[in-house]
Amino acid sequence: MGNGYAGKILKIDLSRKDEISTDPLDMKFAKKFLGGKGFGAKLLYDLLPPKTDPYSPKNPIMYVTGPLTGTLAPCIRYCLVTKSPLTNTFNDTYAGGDFGQELKYAGYDVVIISGKAKKPVYLQIFDDDIQIKDAQHLWGLNTYEIYDVLKSEVNEKTAKVSCIGPAGENLVKFALVDCDLHRQAGRGGAGAVMGSKNLKAVVVRGTNGISVADYDRLEKEVQKISHDMGITDKFFAPKLQAGGTPAIVDFSNEEAVLPYKNFQDQTSDIAENLNDKGQRKSFWLREYGCFACPLHCSKIGMIKKGPYKGTVCDTVEYENVGLLGTNCAVGNVDALAYSQNLCDRLGLDAITTGNIVGFTMECFEKGIITKKDLGGLDLSFGNWKNMMELINMIAYRKGIGNILAEGVMRAAKKIGKGTENFAIHIKGLESPAWAPRGTPGVGLALMTADRGGCHQRSNPVGLEVFGLAWPGGYPTERVSIKGKPDLVIWEQHHYAALYSLLMCEIFSHAGITNESYASLFSAVTGWDATYSSLLSEYGERIWNITRMFNWREGFQREHDTVPPRFKEPLPSGPAKGHKFTDEDINKMLDEYYSKRGWDEQGKPTKEKLIELGLDSMASD
Amino acid sequence: MVRQRVEGFFDLCTGCRICELVCSQKKLGMYKPRYAAIEIELKSEGMAAIPSLCVQCEDPHCMKSCIYGAIEKDEKMGIVRIIREKCTGCEMCIKACPINGAIKIDPASNKALKCDICDGDPACVKFCPTEAVKLIKIGGQ
Amino acid sequence: MKVKIFFFSPLRQILGLKETDIELPEGATVANLFEELSTRFGEPVKKYIFDGMTGRPRGYLLYQVGKKNQSTSYKIDTKLKDGEKLAIMSPPMGG
């Protein structure tokens, strides 16, 4: 009887070609850390000496799957785990598609890649046949070009590829890892770490199968989920199904949480061009589903007119609408679609890129950066033509692109002249398209997220705006800080546990019940679990590991804060005037730390770590 | 004479591969989509996902090219079946079949596998979230 | 004229109701519908539909159902049509 795991960990040292080994997956370890984020957190903590340079050969990049990956459980992804060159924090970044599944079929739950190749290489994983192959002829190819070349080179059109683009090769600190087709592990610069290892791509083919504990139960649960999604309860699923994540744009814009002009405001009149309706009209052709996903929120199509006509694009996801779109005041949906596609091809995280372009536009508007600095470009807000040029400059580190490629925190430091006041990042990770003024819970979530300014560790915006209770919790008032630490703690445990099962957070908002995740988990592994046991057992444990990792890297209370812009009053929208005061920030942090069993600097206490079964970390 | 087959519709297919998963589980006892009797192929930079599988030919090339008599036609049901006991995994049926991915040989058993419409109740049809695979009946009563 | 409203989480739980028909005068807008709903169902619906701070009705809540590939939310001044089927959505998250 299977339990969903493939059963092996593959270890590769690129510095030494003969150092390829496999370890059996220890089931005690699996049961304690689940998979995905949990595996990644524990492995990185144990493998990486503190304060190691992220570009050091010692910093591993790990492809991590989980027990549900490759089974019928709907929309389960895989993640890449490494120390981020952008933030120096723990970094876990997720992608859908079907690359992770293929890794499982090849027989591996985790692939740990360390070392550094002398020349560009790619890694070929065909079941037990592991080869490190020359990739000098692939160096310089963009992420779309490489697939056909590589697949015909290994003579296997059904192989799956994960790769970096020029940005990763050039060590742009927010380079992504692209997985075929059209899926990206975007945030935190995993692509730059791959680039630092001279690793251009990983190509994998698996011919094994995955067996689970209870096929009937799994099938019944999947049918129940489809039913829940389609016709019962939360009707958000059909909306997401038809409109994808840009269907959220209207909500976000009306409630004023959608960044505009480098977060100067949080609502604008251009957003409605960029929502699902605008995109459908502009270029959508068909719906695209990630592996085993009945929701298929993604769309794919072709730009029909203008300078970018003929370009095949996928949905401009909500985040990219907010950053490359409204944040840069770009209201032209064709241009927006192309800019996202350009980021994907070059291998740039589109969220960070949109944030940085917005920052540069504000510098230009304020006269801090001039046409001369930009090689003659007029970079006024909304100038999408020149935005494309700037994106290219960043990926190839040309001109000012060389400074911007370091991320907004370092760029602002270098440029100076007060630009640090409008560099919108937390711990070096550029803020996502959930602008937090007016929803203090979102602010606390961003402040305390383990990889910096990230909305995927907790994003309580919906519950805050509607004043709704979370499971087992209570309702809160939108702009009040009261209750927000409780709300954020619950969500962080929720995401930490479910990301260890590699859940897709879009799917999780589409009507699947929380109990269904526990049921999927039990059906696959044969281990008993309920939703609340997953959170209390795994969620809190895993959240504390990543906190300890960051603590060891030198992060503490002073880093848990919001950028200065969010301390200025919000100019418009329903929560007009709201800002983050130091008093509010401190109050929320005090309560958050104390409820977590952390000291006043935000370090998990010995007692807490022992309580969570993390004895080995208790003396660190 | 009855003919029936599972037919794929690319205009509705999202490429999620749920059909491959359930098919492999029913036929091979585990999730092994690579060797399922249905295959989703992506075309035009992913703009189309095309399900392909056996059409249950009236005059099957695969059957005629099998020298072991391991492929038979069930005229009553209109299904072309592989007799696993007789199959040697020689791949001649794959060579003879013009449809991409319609016949696979699972290396674990070294036996050919193709769609037998689950004897009239195909799992792929049951689980497809967009009705991109349908059971089609032609003729007969 | 008559429109059909489908309730989803959390209103379905609060009202114990999956769907309802609402009678409206010809030419009624989304705003009129929201007023009618809060008159009929009172506080819980009112709290959900109208922003507590500004009293502003949330237009994006409403969208048409039953038509493939049409999902865009309504605006507050959108005029409704007789026989339309509409859903009130659950709070969105993620991205």
Round to whole Å and give the CA distance between A242 and C67: 9
3-state secondary structure A18-58: CCEEEEECCHHHHHHHCCHHHHHHHHHHHHCCCCCCCCCCC
Q: Which fold has domain A440-561+581-617?
A: 1.10.599
3-state secondary structure C53-76: CCCCECHHHEEECCCCCCCCCCCC
Looking at the complex, does the CB of residue A155 fall below 8 Å from at least one CB of chain B?
no
- H or E stretch including B74? strand B71-74
Q: How many domains does chain B have?
A: 1
As a whole number, mean pLDDT of residues B72-95 equals 95
Closest residue to B25, CB basis, from A208, A215, A286: A215
Q: Which two tokens stand for residue B100?
A: 């991409």
How far off is chain C from A255, nearest CA to CA, in Å? 8
- Per-residue pLDDT band for C92 (boundaries 50, 70, 90) equals low
On the question of a common fold for A8-205 and A440-561+581-617, the answer reads no
B36: CATH: 3.30.70.20
pLDDT at B113: 97
Chain A residues with CB-CB distance to B125 below 8 A: none
Q: Is the pLDDT of residue B1 over 80?
A: no
The correct CATH number of C2-88 out of 2.40.50.180, 3.10.20.30, 3.20.20.80, 2.60.40.3680 is 3.10.20.30
Neighbouring residues of C43: CB distance < 8 A, sequence distance ≥ 6: none
C-alpha closest to that of B54 among B106, B1, B118: B118
Among chain A residues, CA nearest to C76: A254
3-state secondary structure A116-183: CCCCCEEEEEECCEEEEEECCCCCCCCCCHHHHHHHHHCCCCCCEEEECCHHHHCCCCCECEEECCCE
Q: Partners for C (CB, 8 Å, 3+ pairs)?
A: A
Looking at the complex, does the CB of residue A508 fall below 8 Å from at least one CB of chain B?
no
Q: Is the pLDDT of residue A291 over 60?
A: yes
Report whether A389 contacts A382 (CB < 8 A): no
In the chain, the amino acid numbered A347 is G
Cβ-based neighbour number of residue A457 at 10 Å: 23
Dihedral sign, CA of A384, A385, A390, A392? positive
The correct CATH number of A248-430 out of 3.20.20.120, 1.10.760.10, 1.10.569.10, 1.20.210.10 is 1.10.569.10
- Per-residue pLDDT band for A232 (boundaries 50, 70, 90) equals very low
Neighbouring residues of A75: CB distance < 8 A, sequence distance ≥ 6: A96, A290, A291, A292, A293, A295, A503, A504, A506, A507
Chain B residues with CB-CB distance to A2 below 8 A: 30
Q: Model confidence over C18-35: pLDDT tens digits?
A: 889 999 999 999 999 999
Supply the DSSP symbol for A598.
B
In three-state secondary structure terms, B22 is helix
State the pairing for strand pair B3-8/A429-430: unpaired
As a whole number, mean pLDDT of residues A333-341 equals 98
Round to whole Å and give the CA distance between A294 and A201: 29
State the pairing for strand pair A110-114/A61-64: antiparallel
User: Which residues form the domain of B32?
Assistant: 3-138
Q: Is the pLDDT of residue A231 over 60?
A: no
Looking at the complex, does the CB of residue B109 fall below 8 Å from at least one CB of chain A?
no
Q: Model confidence over A529-563: pLDDT tens digits?
A: 999 999 999 999 999 999 999 999 999 999 999 99
What is the residue extent of each domain of chain A? Answer: 8-205, 248-430, 440-561+581-617
Q: Model confidence over B42-64: pLDDT tens digits?
A: 988 888 999 999 999 999 999 99
Peptide bond before residue A564 is cis, with ω within 30 degrees of 0: no
Chain C residues with CB-CB distance to A505 below 8 A: 93-94
Q: Is the pLDDT of residue B139 over 60?
A: yes
| Separation in Å, CA A388 to CA A259, A603, C42 | 20, 43, 51
Round to whole Å and give the CA distance between C42 and A406: 54
In three-state secondary structure terms, C12 is helix
CATH of domain A8-205: 3.60.9.10
pLDDT at A236: 57
Cα atoms in the Cβ-side hemisphere of radius 13 Å centred on B1: 10
Q: Which two tokens stand for residue A349?
A: 């995280």
Question: What mean pLDDT is reported for chain A?
Answer: 95
State whether A98 and B17 contact (CB < 8 Å): yes
In three-state secondary structure terms, B31 is strand
pLDDT at A489: 97
State whether B18 and A294 contact (CB < 8 Å): yes
- H or E stretch including A313? strand A312-314
- Of residues C44 and A24, more confidence is placed in A24
Among chain C residues, CA nearest to A507: C94
